[in-house]
Structure 1
Amino acid sequence: MTINNEYVRKWVEEIAQLCRPDAIYWCNGSEDEYERLAQQAVAEGKLKALDASWPDCYAFSTQADDSETHRECTYVCTDHVEDRADTSLWMAPEEMLGKLASIMENSMSGKILYVIPYVLGPVGSPFSQTAIEITDSIYVVLNMRILTRIGDAAWSQIGDKDDFFRGVHVTGDLDISKRYIAHFPEYRTLYAVNTEFGGYAFQGKSSLAMVMSSAVAAKEGWLAEHMMILAIENPEGEVRYIAGAFPSSSGKSNLAFMIPPAYAKGYKCYTVGDDIAWLRPGPDGRLWAINPEAGFFSVLPGVNEKSSPRAAEMIRKNTIFTNIAVSEDGLPWWEGKGTKAPDNLLNWQGVHWDMQSPYKAAHPNSRFTSPASQLTSMSPHWEDPAGVPISAIIFGGKSSLTQPLLIEAFNWQHGVFLGASLSAERDKTLERNPMGILPFLGASMGDYLRNWLSMENRLTAPPNIFRVNWFRKDEKGDFLWPGYGENFRVLEWILGRCYDELAATSTAVGMIPRAEDFNLEGIKLTQAELVNELLAIDKTAWQKETAEVETFLHSFPNLPAEIEAEIAAQKERLS
């Protein structure tokens, strides 16, 4: 392949001189290339082909300590320390580059250096970004082929320009003490060394689409968010779009793959994206969004035909599974699959496993990588270059006692505060995670929130903002809300509010539905239970919650005055 872009050639040559690969391979993104590389990976023992009942599906396992994010390895390197990201480590760029160079020297000896050109976002969209990742991992190439738009389309969009993002991934010896995930947003460059975990090695995923992009977006005035996008079509054929941000394991993917319940006759739901959204003010004064990804890299445990039937159908073919259990004859299994574990099962680390084993069969963070195009419910507009207009933004938390099922913000500023105070319970502890993006934020929290607040003056028809919680429990510890497809009832009320079709009741922490406006047809829940349990606001509990939110947000320097005002206003309303 002939590459005429002098910036690309020079950069690839520099990395090759440092890493010393045996060969350089320029990826073209074709189906033939994917099939050939997949078979090569199987032959080399890097992938395991699954049983023929799972056509063109493969399994891969990482090293035990390389199976999830490690924030102690994650850096955002800016020229000035005051520009650092509050939630990542900082190191001066020169110092970090020196450390990286010493690890990368001769690191690809005996290996192939793969050059992956890719586009995040629909090709030709004004939202989209171009990038090139250099890697020594065939597993990374195969996953990036699914998750991004690689090959000729990317080369065409890159052209002879120098404004593409540069990324380097080196598998190395996987030594966690020398594992670095280093982002240089001012130089549009990132590195991941001594790792093969997809969250780091698939650089078009979290590192570029969220960490790097959130830093760039805060300066350029757009939003790069950890959000799903769902389209809802009513019986009259009108389509509205909802974006939703949730901390991990709080229901985001299930919402993205929503199927309307039986009572909602004539309604249809379509997926635009399940994990990442880029949003910009449009010329019509509305907020428009795209899904920058071309595939899904999603958490697997709990995915089954009942909890997420659309996802369960999608992953039956053309899927790469990471850190799952596989039987000796190639049948995949994971906790929450909804089927009996097959015989002769090997867990994600290759150890024999049965129901009496004291350890998990699949890693709790095991993943599937599937093409978005094979999800039968993908929106026909998911690759529209203009994006889709957002009618509502949902921030979803996970609270067993305090948070009600649903709150609507009083206004945009209050909505940003609802997002900034987002939290999720984890093993009896509470993790605070503003907008669900905390582990992936590449800007300072102050700059990030100021960017969100600035949108109000750039939108004449901003989305309504809501906060939801599917996880409230009764005194016995049972969930009060049925969840899953029944969450559509909440979305139905949200859309009614967006178009001034329903009233709401004002409380000290936001607006909640009137019981008579909430559709409870077909579920075992009365209007009294809805009001007295699911929508109840406990003043004492909320006073405590507000004080804890204030303490948490004050841990970030340079907090916007508008957020300080929202804290003070909520304390006053609760007094």
Structure 2
Amino acid sequence: WLTEHMFIMGVHGPQQRVTYFTGAFPSLCGKTSTAMMEGETIIGDDIAYLRRKGEEIRTVNVEKGMFGIIQGINSEDDPIIWEVLHQTGEIIFSNVLITKEGGCHWIGKDGETPSEGINHSGKWYPGKKDEAGKEIPPSHPNARFTLDLKLLGNLDPHIDSPEGVVVGGIIYGGRDSDTCVPVEESFNWEHGVITKGASLESETTAATLGKEGVRKWNPMSNLDFLSIPIGKYIESNLKFGASLKNPPPIFSVNYFLKDSEGDFLNQKTDKAIWLRWMELRSHREVEAIKTPTGYIPQYKDLKRLFKEVLSKDYPKESYNKQFIIRTPESLAKIERIKEVYKNVADVPEVVFSVLEEQRERLLAARKKQGDYILPEQL
């Protein structure tokens, strides 16, 4: 068994095929919005129990509800959650702004910000500041909603299946402004556990304690919930899939890449395309480009998916900006992760060897093609 801080969702592929993915993301990195992607189905957004049964990995959600960050939820980007939050049902709102009419408001909600209300700071009004002189937003950045999963219109029919569902792929995602590409597949189970899961980092946000924008290591997005030593936990993950002939592929996603001007290179809806590509890759129905850090999509496949799924064009320029291999940043990440694990007890030696192999591949690529390598150069 593995008990993971993961969503479980069904991604709908060709010919009405449904492939199930689990995914681990630190706070405010797109976990719930991914699990609630329009056109897909959800089994859970927080906890996944994974179990080997024969040559399969199966997973179940043991929770009844959903507990998500409400900041930024609006009718355009999150239509399913938006609809549920505005219908009759048992819903708990925490740390939002209570308006004088008895409604609630949060950062990023549709419409104008109310002129007054009550929030975590007491009576609130626009421009109110805290003791440090910092302006207090209408709702706390870590404001949440809690609801019964049965209220969701995209609930997967197998949510209560006692056998669980077969895991077709595992996703790790963090908030990363300058290093990782939007979606990438690992070379194999071992490589995925170590370079995607055990190396997961995320830039801190207002939903976490401390200063914003600090890159923090969070293996499998499970660091705060581990009941066993980190080294033992990573060893358990490695062993879990090692005995399978064909373990599910492991992917990484990053929705937060920025350009030199500080603007995001991805739109919120783009994650629908990364999901569909991962679904196709899990069945080996599209080819991929091998890079020093994993497999990335071919432009032709993403161009087709953008047109089919989102009915929009996907310029080659956007592809190159998103999927260029950033060797200096990737090498710096490896050094950060290696330094972390030097101070962790009982880390399997393979962690260091796999990271070193990746470092050597990056160095070789940089020597041949420079610091920044376009996919077409590979």
Aligned partner letter, 2:218: N
Question: For the Cα contact (< 8 Å) 1:410–1:511, is it kept in 2?
Answer: yes
Q: Could you tell me the TM-score, scaled by structure 2's length?
A: 0.86
The alignment status of 1:370 with 2:147, answered yes or no, reads: yes
For structure 1, the 5+ residue unaligned runs are: 1-221, 260-267
- Which of structures 1 and 2 has the larger relative contact order (alpha carbons within 8 angstroms, sep 6+)? 2
Among candidates 156, 163, 186, match of residue 379 of structure 1: 156
Q: Counterpart in 1 of 2:368?
A: none
Which residue pairs with 1:390 in the alignment? 167
Q: Which residue of 2 aligns with 1:353?
A: 125
Q: What is the Cα deviation at residue 400 of structure 1?
A: 1.2
Q: Show structure 2 runs of 5+ residues with no match.
A: 130-134, 205-211, 364-378
- Give the Cα separation in 2 of the matches to 1:307 and 1:540: 34
Deviation at 1:536? 1.0
Match of 2:330 in 1: 542
Cα distance 1:496–1:385, how it changes in 2: closer, same or farther (>3 A)? same
Instruction: Measure the CA separation in 1 of the matches of 2:226 and 2:139.
Output: 28
- 2:265 is equivalent to residue 480 of structure 1: yes
Tell me if the contact between 2:189 and 2:241 (Cα under 8 Å) persists in the aligned partners.
yes
Alpha-carbon contact 2:182-2:253 (below 8 Å) kept: yes
Structure 1: distance between partners of 2:235 and 2:260: 40
The residue that corresponds to 1:526 in the other structure is 315
Map of 2:177 onto structure 1: 400
Matched residues, number: 343
- What letter is aligned with 2:7? M
Q: Within 1, Cα distance between the matches of 2:144 and 2:286?
A: 40
SS class of match (1:363): coil
Check the 8 A contact 1:226/1:436 in 2, yes or no.
Answer: yes
2:251 counterpart (449, 453, 466): 466
Structure 1 residue matching 2:346: 3-state secondary structure = coil
Question: 2-side partners of 1:447 and 1:281: how far apart?
Answer: 19
Task: Name the CA distance, whole Å, in 2 between partners of 1:389 and 1:540.
Answer: 38
User: How far apart are the structure 2 equivalents of 1:520 and 1:310?
Assistant: 21
What is the identity, as a one-letter code, of the residue corresponding to 1:347?
A: N
User: Which of 247, 252, 265 matches 2:26?
Assistant: 247
What secondary structure does 2:168 align onto?
A: strand
- What is the distance in 2 between the residues matched to 1:269 and 1:527? 27
For 1:319 and 1:423, how far apart are their aligned partners in 2? 32
Within 2, Cα distance between the matches of 1:542 and 1:233?
A: 32
Matched, 1:321 2:93: yes
Are the aligned partners of 1:516 and 1:527 in contact in 2 as well (CA < 8 Å)?
A: no
Q: Which amino acid aligns with 1:239?
A: V
For 1:373, give the aligned amino acid: K
Letter in 1 for 2:228: A
SS of alignment partner, residue 274 of structure 2: helix
SS of the counterpart of 1:386? coil
Question: Aligned match of 1:556 in 344, 347, 364?
Answer: 344
Q: Which amino acid is the alignment partner of residue 265 of structure 2?
A: L
The aligned counterpart of 2:51 is 280
Quote the offset at 1:235 in angstroms.
Answer: 4.9
- Asked whether the equivalents of residues 183 and 252 of structure 2 are also in contact (C-alpha less than 8 Å), the reply is yes
Q: How does 1:83-98 map to 2 (within 5 A)?
A: none
From 66, 70, 73, the counterpart of 1:296 = 66
Q: Deviations over 1:376-411 (max 9, x none)?
A: 111011111111111011111211111111211000
Q: Of 194, 203, 212, which residue of structure 2 is paired with 1:425?
A: 203
Matched position secondary structure for 1:563: helix
Contact 2:11–2:279 (8 Å) recurs in 1: no
- Residue 335, structure 1, aligned to residue 103, structure 2: no
Separation of aligned partners in 2, 1:381 and 1:435? 25
* Structure 1 range deviating more: 514-523 or 541-550: 514-523
Q: Write the distance in 1 (CA, Å) between the matches of 2:127 and 2:32.
A: 27
Amino acid in structure 2 at the alignment position of 1:320: I
Q: Which amino acid aligns with 2:306?
A: L
Matched residue type, 2:78:
S
Q: TM-score, normalised by structure 1?
A: 0.58
Instruction: Measure, in 2, the Cα distance between the counterparts of 1:428 and 1:367.
Output: 21
- Would you say 1:568 and 2:347 are equivalent positions? no
1:235 and 1:409 mapped to 2: Cα distance? 23
Deviation at residue 445 of structure 1 after TM alignment:
0.6
Task: Give 1:256 deviation, angstroms.
Answer: 0.7
Corresponding letter in the other structure for 1:228: F
Displacement of 1:232 after TM fit? 2.0
**Greater CA radius of gyration, 1 or 2?**
1
| Partner Cα separation in structure 2 for residue 304 and residue 489 of structure 1 | 20
By how many angstroms is 1:540 displaced?
A: 2.1
Aligned ranges 1:418-457 → 2 under 5 Å: 418-426=196-204, 427-457=212-242
Which residue in 1 is equivalent to 2:207?
Answer: none
Aligned residue in 1 for 2:15: 236
Q: Deviations over 1:5-39 (max 9, x none)?
A: xxxxxxxxxxxxxxxxxxxxxxxxxxxxxxxxxxx
Q: Indicate the percent of aligned positions where both proteins have the same amino acid.
A: 33
Tell me the secondary structure at the aligned position of residue 556 of structure 1: coil
Q: CA deviation at 1:353?
A: 2.2
**Which deviations, in whole Å up to 9, do the C-alpha atoms of 1:496-516 show, x marking residues without a partner?**
111111111111111111212
